Structure 1
Amino acid sequence: MGDSAISRIDSTLAGDDFAWSVTLVGEDQSDKLATLAHYLDDGHSTSGDGKRVPSGYAYWGIGPTIAWSNASNDPTYMVIKVGTEMFRRQWRTISPLVTDECVHLVSLGVGTGAKDGMFLETMHRANPSMLYVPVDMSAEMLRTGSRTAVRDAHFPLDRSLGLQIDLSLDGNLEELKQFLDRLVGDEAILFSLVGNTVANFDDDAEFLDGIAKVLRPQDRMLVEFATTESLAGDAVHAAEAEYRQTRGFVEFVASAVRYNTDLKIDLEQVRFTGAVDDESILLKVFWQNVGSETLRMAIPGSRPVHLKPLDTIRLYTTRKYTTERIDQLVADAGLRTTHVQRERFRYARRQNPFGLELRLLAPDENAPTPLPAFDVWK
């Protein structure tokens, strides 16, 4: 690389105990704010299907990053607390398969960094030359989460490189694929997509399909899904209650609007509604203007948005999947399952049908290849 600034980073950081982190920022953050403003002015709806915070933006910025950290460390948020322990057990079982096949870790959505720390501790022991590439839309989430992971695993800072990009954009996924090809060559990558991230997208199948296209035949992907063994009405109501009961989570879902607009959100006006959709429980979390007057919401750099009575802003989307639905998502993305770990939640006296499923996936060489658009008409 010659005498470039990049080529000098290693020697510059060597022995420096300042809290540096190395991140490549791939997007103009003012563009992200403009996109958020567009979604927050997307028509009137009384059911959370108009104005919304799109996936990824719930974590975008320092306010939501702090709010997510607080929610994740809330001792009353049992899903996170128990889920982390379940993940530790599941990872312990799957990890020998990963270390036999993969060298490097690319974390797609770093979160708090707790799970990445588990990956790094095991994988670095097996492959000391590995690289850690955390990827997130939120530069603040990227910095705080990856630093936690590196610190917890005692992972060398000069083997970590963060990438700030929005994974929901096809163009960004293509850039990510090319970047990783140049970075690691033919060495196999473990892509991690944990925390039920797939479920947070409006079109979960489309998102997983896009991510799957980044994988090469030698790569593997570890995906975590929230699961349900029932689609009955009482299971839907239990899913609503699971998220509603933790104040830290409610504050988190409201944080993207609170920190990026001047709208004062009363947490009592945040609604949780579940429904059965495509062999899964779809949960929408939205704020509603329950007053009788139109509210004016200002967003920096954009024209004001007017919220009529009963208008809503969807703050968050998530799902709990049946095994059949997960099988379909995986197959439709051109992937196959090489190993799976399932476990049901057992933290309460009252039994519920929910749990977590961790799947190790590989590209399916037998999956049909879609025709290019110009061939469809022949």
Structure 2
Amino acid sequence: MTMPTSRERFTLIAAEAEDHLAEFARDVKAGLTAQPKSLSCRYFYDRKGSLLFEAICQVPEYYLTRAEREILLTHATEITSRFSTRTTLVELGSGSAAKTRILIEAFLRRHGTLRYVPVDISHTMLKESSLALLEQYPHLKIVAIASEYHDGLHQLQALADGPRLILWLGSNVGNFERAEAADFLRRVRETMSPSDRLLVGIDLRKDRGVLEKAYDDASGVTAQFNLNILARINRELGGHFDLQAFRHRAVYNEEIGRIEMYLDSTRAQRASIERLGLEVSFAAGETMHTENSYKYSFAEIETLAAAGGLRMEGQWLDSERRFSENSLALVVS
């Protein structure tokens, strides 16, 4: 009997959503006409941004990827041993799925076959990474969902025909305000059954120097990643930003427990955006906020889980106690 080809084992679902370019234009206009100015980190991840983030994961200062990979390599067998053969592996914000391969291989060793459901905003990255996985793993089936998390959750409910391990790796939870993170966990909880588990990667509070270097590496990859949001405005909205006139900056707000990323104007300047019919003025030294990345204490992780209506079932740390993987389950009364 002939094995199904990679493409025969691949289904791509594009979640219905509003026109992304119109949404991008609307949010850019709102952010650049506000005081202080800001741009949303959700727009970092066009194709170029996704590739730059993969490069960030390789720089020596960015410990998060290495720490999370260590945890998964050490504990993959334990994490996957709780699931039956009908398991579906779901991933929110899959990217290249580099770390996910560890869990895919653990499931395949244990059960022989696996269905993987990656959800990612980058259509191109999603398709490329899925086909690469299918080429490597002949007993893997993939149903990929091209959408943001919120739209993808609706699609996930239709695929709930057995136990699922839902992955939210890479400290993506940190990009949400704390109340928003709890709200999103509640939305995920609404799609879960008692046999499902949610595995959340959460970065831990630590020394300012370690954190600021992680988000402002010496080779400048994170700076390119941050500046790419202006390049994207230039490409997609007819913007005329001079990228050389802005400087990337990352600072740790210790009281709040978050890294804050900014683009600072190095001189007084104006930039027009043709599609918006907008001209934006910047004073020398004016800052434009682009991203927050929240860090958590152990107590804050427990509080987050409880606020999301979930209970902590397991927690694993890397050898230097920098990063955590947290297995969350429904609260059963």
**1:129-148 to 2 correspondence within 5 Å?**
129-148=113-132
Map of 1:302 onto structure 2: 276
Query: Kindly tell me: are residues 96 and 296 of structure 1, through their superposed partners in 2, closer, same or farther at Cα, counting changes over 3 Å?
Result: closer
Contact 2:71/2:317 (8 A) holds in 1: no
Map of 1:163 onto structure 2: 145
- Structure 1 residue 209: Cα displacement: 2.6
**1:23-102 to 2 correspondence within 5 Å?**
23-27=12-16, 31-41=19-29, 42=31, 43-46=33-36, 50-55=37-42, 57-59=43-45, 61-74=46-59, 76-80=60-64, 82-92=66-76, 94-100=78-84
Of 136, 150, 154, which aligns to 1:175? Answer: 154
Unaligned residue ranges in structure 1 (runs of 5+): 1-10, 346-353, 367-378
TM-score if structure 1 supplies the norm length? 0.75
Distance 2:15 2:296 in 1: 32
Map of 1:359 onto structure 2: 326
Map of 1:336 onto structure 2: 311
Q: Which amino acid aligns with 2:261?
A: V
Aligned residue pairs: how many? Answer: 321
Deviations 1:261-313 (A, max 9, x none): 232323861111221355xx2111111223123x22426x4333513214443
TM-score if structure 2 supplies the norm length? 0.84
Contact 2:68/2:323 (8 A) holds in 1: no
- Structure 1 residue 360: Cα displacement: 1.1
Contact 1:40/1:313 (8 A) holds in 2: no
1:287 corresponds to 2:254: no
Map of 1:372 onto structure 2: none
Give 3-state SS (helix, strand or coil) of 1:339's partner: strand
Query: Kindly tell me: are residues 298 and 85 of structure 1, through their superposed partners in 2, closer, same or farther at Cα, counting changes over 3 Å?
Result: same
Distance 1:20 1:177 in 2: 18
- Structure 1 residue 54: Cα displacement: 3.7
Deviations 1:40-87 (A, max 9, x none): 2223445xxx421243x222x21112222222234x344155325423
Query: Kindly tell me: are residues 36 and 21 of structure 1, through their superposed partners in 2, closer, same or farther at Cα, counting changes over 3 Å?
Result: same
1:125 corresponds to 2:136: no
Map of 2:208 onto structure 1: 236
- Structure 1 residue 357: Cα displacement: 0.5
Deviations 1:334-371 (A, max 9, x none): 111111112354xxxxxxxx6111111111124xxxxx
Q: Which amino acid aligns with 1:143?
A: K
Unaligned residue ranges in structure 2 (runs of 5+): none
**1:311-330 to 2 correspondence within 5 Å?**
311-330=286-305
RMSD: 2.9
Distance 1:330 1:259 in 2: 35
1:255 corresponds to 2:233: no
Distance 1:331 1:117 in 2: 30
Q: Which amino acid aligns with 1:253?
A: N
Give 3-state SS (helix, strand or coil) of 2:261's partner: strand
Distance 2:158 2:199 in 1: 20
Distance 1:259 1:140 in 2: 16
- Structure 1 residue 325: Cα displacement: 0.7
Q: Which amino acid aligns with 2:38?
A: K
Distance 1:198 1:142 in 2: 20
Aligned-pair identity (%):
18
Give 3-state SS (helix, strand or coil) of 1:225's partner: strand
Query: Kindly tell me: are residues 282 and 101 of structure 1, through their superposed partners in 2, closer, same or farther at Cα, counting changes over 3 Å?
Result: farther
Of 201, 206, 209, which aligns to 2:186? Answer: 209
Query: Kindly tell me: are residues 276 and 84 of structure 1, through their superposed partners in 2, closer, same or farther at Cα, counting changes over 3 Å?
Result: closer
Map of 1:116 onto structure 2: 100
Q: Which amino acid aligns with 1:146?
A: S
Distance 2:217 2:93 in 1: 25
Contact 2:9/2:134 (8 A) holds in 1: no
Distance 1:147 1:87 in 2: 26
Give 3-state SS (helix, strand or coil) of 1:99's partner: coil
Contact 1:103/1:190 (8 A) holds in 2: yes
Give 3-state SS (helix, strand or coil) of 1:321's partner: coil
